[in-house]
Structure 1
Amino acid sequence: MIRVKLKSKLALTGAATMAALFLGLNASAARMDMVDVSNNNGYMSNAEYVSMRNEFGVKALTVKISEGTTFKDGYAASNIANGQVAGLYVNGYHFAHYTTKAQAIAEADFAGQAAQAAGLPVGAVLATDVEAEEQGSLSQAANDRNNAAFMKEIQKFGYRADIYTSGSWANNKMTIKGKTGWVAGYPYVMAGQKWYTNNNAWQWSGSAHFRISYGGFDVSQLYTDYYTAGQKSTVKPTDKDAVKTNNQEANKHTSKPSASSKWVKETKTYTLKTAVKLRTGASTSSRSITILPAGTTVKTDQAIIQGGYRWVRQPRFSGYGYLATGPASNSLEYVKTGASHTYYTVKPGDSWWSIAHRNGLNMTTLASQNGKTIYTTIYPGQRLVVR
């Protein structure tokens, strides 16, 4: 997936007018053109989608449809229906686990049937979300072959195809050609920067907040009309003042880590002794992403001493998190190394809530100790630390 609120009159004609309407008038800030939702967001009402549209400028909705060949998102049908009533362009995505061409075709058939049953309109995009551990162990050629098979098969159901993945995987773990792809990459500084401009869409935040909706959401900026084509829409004019204000506010919530010292490689696993804030940069003035509770396991790849603290960097999907492990004297005041854990393997139909309840945990604690949030998708076969 910042609870914030949301002019500029220009005399434009012809093509300039159309470009301004599509691209928006707030060129210095990343826009909240598209939001994606799943069962992790719970039931989403029509009123919530109307608020997203009118106050934040959301044009398109991309709904989780399915995962693998066993999981169908139970909220897909209501998300599609309520999004359509709100006048949004509605699309879908399938969380992929395939490792062979045959599996990719099987997952596409499962996703296509699930999308039809949930009411995803013909002509909508049904993207394959390729970010699982299974694809991480494959070659670029193997992923390209499997993704191509999925996309070819999904078109048989009347849907348009695309690939969603992280910026670190694009053209590394799989090929994402120009004018295709929905790429996730969370920058340190928003203002004046645009990422992945050669693709269909750039997911620039995984924790955006909307005024009347609970929790964080993934939001994306659109560079083409791929996710707003192939279907009719009744999108109404938005509150332009609110949209401008809300988008600018959302863009403030990332910051650039200080570069006053040199980062050094550090591959370690820490277990927190007390709660520590995970931040967007290596500075106490950087925004807090979340608070990691005591007992959380943190895997790091780099460390630095600056600003009076020893900081470590935690790799996350689409970016990094930073936390202070102690004062600049390098003593590990808040952490200790090493840990033994009890793991739980996710089963079809599981959710953060059901796993947490089964193991006597708060679901936020469960997610945090696995380096995730309750809005992160979990999938069958994934191992989670529960003790």
Structure 2
Amino acid sequence: MAALFLGLNANAARMDMVDVSNNNGYMSTAEYVSMRNEFGVKAVTVKISEGGTYKDPDAASNIANVQAAGMYINGYHFARYATKAQAIAEADFAGRTAKTAGLPIGAVLATDVESQEANNQSKATNDRNNAAFMQEIQKFGYRSDIYTSGSWANDKMTIKSKTGWIAAYPYVVSGKNWYSTNHAWQWSSTAKFRISYGGFDVSQLNSNYYTAGQKSTVKPTNKGAVKENNRKANKNIYKPATSAKWIKESKTYTLKTAVKLRNGASTSSNAITILPAGTTVKTDKAIIQGGYRWVRQPRFNGYGYLATGPASNTLEYVKSGATHTYYTVKYGDSWWAIAQRNGLSMTKLASQNGKSIYTTIYPGQRLVVR
């Protein structure tokens, strides 16, 4: 589809760089080789972390497989900081996480600044926080940059010439080289690649910043090495049997990380919502397909589907050994009343159920109290 799209527009922007996260699912070396050989992708920027606690579970495999494909690799951290101290703390967390995941020295580790926290700050505060993050991240041996939207650049924060990775999606991609004085211009969030599912963020590089300061492990012309890396990268990929069927499973899980609830058992299905860590999920069926273990959650208006972990059948996204005591909400109950009855604070009670104390509760709901 991407080849057709580009063919219709001779002046289309280049697909120089792709950014990926666990939202794209497991990405094999073969997929990255296809991006490189068929679409001219030079570099991949991988989500590393978010805020002060979240580590992208696919960062390490993405980094390894991009390098095996002979492409340049970079990382990004989704910023939640609102103060200078928080910016430094998040930079330390991102740097340590990147090191553990295998991001090589000399790669870019950009700060992705587009959160509500940043939206609530003044331009001067955002500039101060971004500068603190970037200065701190350099202590880990990484180069720094800022990613933000075109509407925020030089409005919510300063993006100087010869810096910055800017996202702006025109209705028609013309021959105009948008943001030509910045390092990169992200021009689409829905690009398609031949052997990969779903839409991808793609960017045109206007400098060599995201391809400098590092070396690829495999030369694109080394066909033998690419073939061997593909074999190694793909040998453990789950290949679902055509006879895969749903099985009955009446269980309640507590999520240990945020997981997308989708309208189908596939990473290409639309997301209904994002279930935060601590959410309890009651299931009625399970299946292993498409590289993941999926469960079905009955909802008031149908069903939702979420991955509990990879196809190895491990509950990677679920708290292990979680046995809970539940309380069924009755008419007239409140967060305060239930919390007092069970020796908890309202905040603790709400958070362990993936809610806030301002969330409305209804008779018949089950809440984790132990």
Q: TM-score, normalised by structure 1?
A: 0.58
1:347 aligns with 2:347: no
- Equivalent residue in structure 2 for 1:60, among 35, 38, 43: 43
Q: Which runs of 5+ in 1 are unaligned?
A: 7-25, 239-289, 297-342, 365-379
- Distance change >3 Å, CA 354–CA 203, structure 1 → 2: farther
SS in 1 for 2:143: coil
Query: Partners in 2 of 1:346 and 1:93 — Cα distance?
Result: 21
| TM-score, L = length of structure 2 | 0.61
Q: Is the 8 A contact 1:184 1:202 kept in 2?
A: yes
Q: Measure the CA separation in 1 of the matches of 2:298 and 2:181.
A: 45
Q: Which residue of 1 aligns with 2:207?
A: 224
Q: Percent identity?
A: 66
In 1, the alpha carbon distance for the partners of 2:95 and 2:355 equals 22
Equivalence map 1:198-347=2 (5 Å): 198-233=181-216, 234-236=218-220, 346-347=276-277
Q: Distance in 2 between matches of 1:109 and 1:349?
A: 28
Instruction: Output the aligned Cα RMSD.
Output: 3.5
**Residue type of the partner of 2:118?**
Q
Letter in 2 for 1:72: K
CA contact (8 A) 1:345 1:381 kept: no
Residue 195 of structure 1 deviates from its aligned partner by: 1.1
Q: Please tell me whether residue 174 in structure 1 is matched to residue 157 in structure 2.
A: yes
**What amino acid is aligned across from residue 130 of structure 1 in structure 2?**
V
Shift of 1:43: 0.3
Which deviations, in whole Å up to 9, do the C-alpha atoms of 1:241-281 show, x marking residues without a partner? xxxxxxxxxxxxxxxxxxxxxxxxxxxxxxxxxxxxxxxxx
> Of the two, which has the highest radius of gyration?
2
1:193 aligned to which of 176, 182, 206: 176
Q: Distance in 2 between matches of 1:177 and 1:136?
A: 19
SS of 2:193 mapped into structure 1:
coil
Partner in structure 2 of residue 304 of structure 1: none
The question of 1:147 aligning with 2:77 is answered no
In the TM superposition, what is the alpha-carbon distance from 1:188 to its structure 2 partner?
A: 1.2
Q: Which residue number corresponds to residue 34 of structure 1?
A: 17
Residues 60-110 of structure 1: CA deviation (Å, up to 9, x unaligned): 000000000110001000000000010110000000000000000000000
Partner amino acid, structure 2, of 1:76: A
In the alignment, the residues of structure 1 paired with residue 142 and residue 21 of structure 2 have an alpha-carbon distance, to the nearest angstrom, of 19
Aligned match of 2:242: none
| Partner secondary structure for residue 33 of structure 2 | helix
Taking a change above 3 Å as real, the CA distance of residues 137 and 204 of structure 1, as seen in their structure-2 partners, is same
Q: How does 1:148-167 map to 2 (within 5 A)?
A: 148-167=131-150
1:302-353, Cα deviation, whole Å (9 max, x unpaired): xxxxxxxxxxxxxxxxxxxxxxxxxxxxxxxxxxxxxxxxx98733899xx9
C-alpha contact 1:125 1:227 (8 A) present in aligned 2: yes
User: Do 2:298 and 2:304's aligned partners in 1 also have CA atoms closer than 8 Å?
Assistant: no
CA contact (8 A) 1:5 1:55 kept: no
Segments of structure 2 that go 5 or more residues without pairing to the other structure are 223-267, 281-292, 307-353, 360-370
CA 1:169 to 1:61, structure 2 compared with 1: closer, same or farther past 3 Å?
A: same
**Counterpart amino acid of 2:38?**
E
User: Residue 103 of structure 1 corresponds to which residue in structure 2?
Assistant: 86
- Deviation track 1:96-145 (CA, whole Å, cap 9, x = no partner) reads 00000000000000000000000000000000000001100110000000
Q: 1:344 to 1:40 in 2, by over 3 A?
A: closer
The aligned counterpart of 2:3 is: 4
Change in 2 beyond 3 A, CA 1:183/1:381: farther
Structure 2 CA distance, aligned partners of 1:358 and 1:153?
46
